[in-house]
Amino acid sequence: MKLEIQSLEIADVKLIRGAAFVDRRGEFAETYVRRDFVAAGIAADFVQDNQSRSRASGTVRGLHFQVRPFVQAKLVRVLRGRIFDVAVDLRRNSPHYGRYVAAELAAGSGEQLLVPAGFAHGFCTLEPDTEVFYKVDATYSAAHDRGVNWLDPGLAIRWPIQANEAVLSEKDAALPCIGEPPVYVE
């Protein structure tokens, strides 16, 4: 599997594209081959796969993260539709603490976003019936689950929708801002 890896503005967050094999039947792609990811310097040991389906365009999920010992790295891809995908650096000693990077991911693009441990993650759907699939390197733990409000003015994320258009859970709507008190993953 040949990987194209592009570092985003925060270099630890990577946009990854693998090769697709196309013939008259359609396409085939290997989306994850551990030895190829390790050879490219991505050694996360993924232990759980998750999938979400959002009915409405403008659905916001996040910004979520887990604290020790269940801190998670994520490898995110879109199976159907498109998303505006966001990673917020919450590493205590990072020079990028409180900054975010974003990428648009679309089904059929072959692109995946690597969100390393130490980041909050969330996305906004850009099309109805969007399905997102992601691998994580630590299992889910409700006791270690945390989040940051998607509209936190301190983060100044340029979401592609207005707040009154967003579809989100009660839990996500009530998440605290990054400074209430300061939020760190590690």
CATH code at position 166: 2.60.120.10
CA 97 centroid distance within chain: 17
* Any domain includes 8: yes
Q: CB under 8 Å to 84, separation ≥6 — which residues? A: 102, 104, 123, 124, 126, 159, 160
182: in domain: no
pLDDT score, position 186: 67
The residues that are catalytic are 64, 134
Domain hosting residue 79, numbered range:
3-173
Residue 31 belongs to a domain: yes
Q: How many domains does the chain have?
A: 1
Within-domain flag for 179: no
| Position 49 in a domain | yes
pTM for the model stands at: 0.95
Domain assignment of residue 151, yes or no: yes
pLDDT in tens, the chain (186 residues): 789 999 999 999 999 999 899 999 999 999 999 999 999 999 999 999 999 999 999 999 999 999 999 999 999 999 999 999 999 999 989 999 999 999 999 999 999 999 999 999 999 999 999 999 999 999 999 999 999 999 999 999 999 999 999 999 999 999 999 987 667 776
Q: Does residue 19 lie in a domain region?
A: yes
Residue 2: its pLDDT value, please?
85
Residue 186 resides in a domain: no
What pLDDT is stored for residue 101 in this prediction? 98
CA 150/CA 159 separation, integer angstroms: 9
